[in-house]
Amino acid sequence: MHSFKDLSVLFSKHFEKSHFPSSPHNLYEPCNYFLQIGGKRVRPTLCLLGNELFDTIHIDSYHIATAIELFHNFTLVHDDMMDAASLRRGMQTVHTKYNSNIALLSGDVMLIKAYEYINKIQPQYLQRILQLFNTTATEVCEGQQLDMDFENQDEVSLNEYIKMIELKTSVLLAAALQMGAIIGGASEGNCNHLYQFGLNLGIAFQIQDDYLDAFGDPEKFGKEVGGDIKQNKKTFLLLHSLEVASAEQRKRLHELMKDNPSNKVEEVLKIYTECNVQEWTKNLKQKYFDTALQHLEDIAVVSSRKKPLLELAYYLIDREH
């Protein structure tokens, strides 16, 4: 049994090679550039953890984990284009460093490469893994579309927002765990519980991420606090406030979002506090976290095998940064 950190290191070593030929240079060099920017490799590591929950890690899980990480990076390259983001992890995004055409095509070929890795696994699991991979990939695209739709939409309900987060972020975490479990020979019931664990943990994590962006300690959070507020980003906090605010508070919120005064962050936070957003957010996060833990509990394997996932869950959710 390995901890999340152990497996993350193992995967990173495995992943650290060029996945592409050298030519055409303008197609593949941008892929290599982007992949070496790095990241925590959370999703592929979840795949290995999902496997090891049930059995020793099979090489197929490394193939799938590689596919998942390539898929994730494909979405980042294309999302950065859609968001016109110039930096990621302090490095230039692909369309900024090269150009939009190169980012478009390099992203495409990264997605196809993901399917090449999927096709390396044992034939007996191929159809099942490919189906889950396809469904998940489609859902991630749907989530990205909803996220863009919401930007231009006046009214977004909390449920719509949760659905978007689920599609854009959580399903990939859940599917990564489940694919590992499939390779580990898990029963369908256990697979489903593990999927639900990932799905709910992902939503809890996003609730916390929204919370920390507003109320986090800037030093621990590692990025500017209030960024979402400045951009009028629809978050758990904003959507809930708009739902529970008085007519007067709602009017002030809309004015602040429209006028962008210099004290905007401070003023919006004041309204959030008046609306009791902090407590509400903590409770909502706890609700999803508890649901996640219950599903982990319900998986029919000895509890000692669950330790790495339990530790990861607490690590992700208790973080202040």
Residues 24-43 that bind its own copies (CB under 8 A): 24, 26-27
Measured from the CB atom, is 121 or 239 closer to its own copies?
Answer: 121
Closest-CA residue to 289 (of 205, 209, 212): 205
CB of 108 to its own copies, least distance (A): 6
Residue 234 within binding range of its own copies, rule CB under 8 A: no
Closer to its own copies by CB, 19 or 252: give it: 19
Q: Based on the number of CB atoms within 10 Å of its own CB, is 143 exposed (0-12), middle (13-18) or buried (19 or more)?
A: buried
Instruction: Give the nearest distance from C-beta 316 to its own copies in angstroms.
Output: 28
Run of H or E residues at 227: helix 227-230
Half-sphere exposure of 158 (CA within 13 A, CB side): 14
156: number of Cβ within 10 Å: 17
DSSP 90-107: TEE-HHHHS-HHHHHHHH
Interacting residues of 20 by C-beta distance below 8 A, sequence separation 6+: 27, 28, 31, 32, 109, 113
Give, as ranges, the residues between 283 and 312 that touch its own copies (CB under 8 A): none
To 5 degrees, how large is the angle CA 116–CA 118–CA 124?
A: 130
Q: How many residues bind its own copies (CB under 8 A)?
A: 35
Note whether 144 binds its own copies by CB under 8 A.
yes
Q: Which of 55, 142, 209, 267 binds its own copies (CB under 8 A)?
A: 142
Percentages of the chain per state (helix, strand, coil), in multiples of 5: 75, 0, 25
User: In angstroms, what is the minimal distance from the CB of 137 to its own copies?
Assistant: 5
In the complex, minimum distance from the CB of residue 174 to its own copies, in angstroms, rounded to a whole number: 18
Tell whether residue 156 is a contact of its own copies (CB under 8 A): no
Cα 100 to Cα 4, 103, 176, 189, distances in angstroms: 36, 5, 29, 44
Is 107 or 184 the residue whose CB approaches its own copies more closely?
A: 107
How far apart are CB 280 and its own copies at their closest, in Å?
28
Binding mask 97-136 for its own copies (x = CB under 8 A): ---xx--xx-xxx-xxx-xx-xx---x--xx--xx--x--
Residue with tokens 């509890």: 303
C-alpha–C-alpha distance, residues 188 and 176, integer Å: 15
CB 51 within 8 A of CB 6: no
Candidates 9, 37, 141, 310; binder of its own copies (CB under 8 A) is 141
Q: How far is the CB of 23 from its own copies (least distance, A)?
A: 8
CB of 158 to its own copies, least distance (A): 18
Q: How far apart are CA 296 and CA 310, in angstroms?
A: 8
Mark 68-87 with x for binding to its own copies (rule: CB under 8 A) and - for no binding.
Answer: ----------x--xx-----
Catalog residues that contact its own copies under the rule CB under 8 A.
Answer: 24, 26-27, 78, 81-82, 100-101, 104-105, 107-109, 111-113, 115-116, 118-119, 123, 126-127, 130-131, 134, 137-138, 141-142, 144-146, 148-149
